[in-house]
Amino acid sequence: MKLDPFYLIVDRASWLPRLLPQGVKLVQLRAKDMDEAELRREIATAREVCARFGAQLIVNDYWKLAIELGCDFVHLGQEDLAEADVPAMRRAGLKLGISTHDEAELEAALLAGPDYIALGPVYPTILKKMRWAPQGLERVRQWKTRIGDLPLVGIGGLTIERAPGVRQAGADSLAVVTDILLNDNPEARAREWVLATR
Active site residues: 30, 99, 128
Enter the DSSP assignment of 14.
G
C-alpha to C-alpha distance for 191 and 22, rounded to whole angstroms: 5
C-alpha to C-alpha distance for 91 and 100, rounded to whole angstroms: 24
C-alpha to C-alpha distance for 189 and 184, rounded to whole angstroms: 9
Amino acid at 40: R
C-alpha to C-alpha distance for 163 and 161, rounded to whole angstroms: 6
* Contact (CB, 8 A) for 28 and 175: yes
C-alpha to C-alpha distance for 96 and 87, rounded to whole angstroms: 11
Residues belonging to the chain: 198
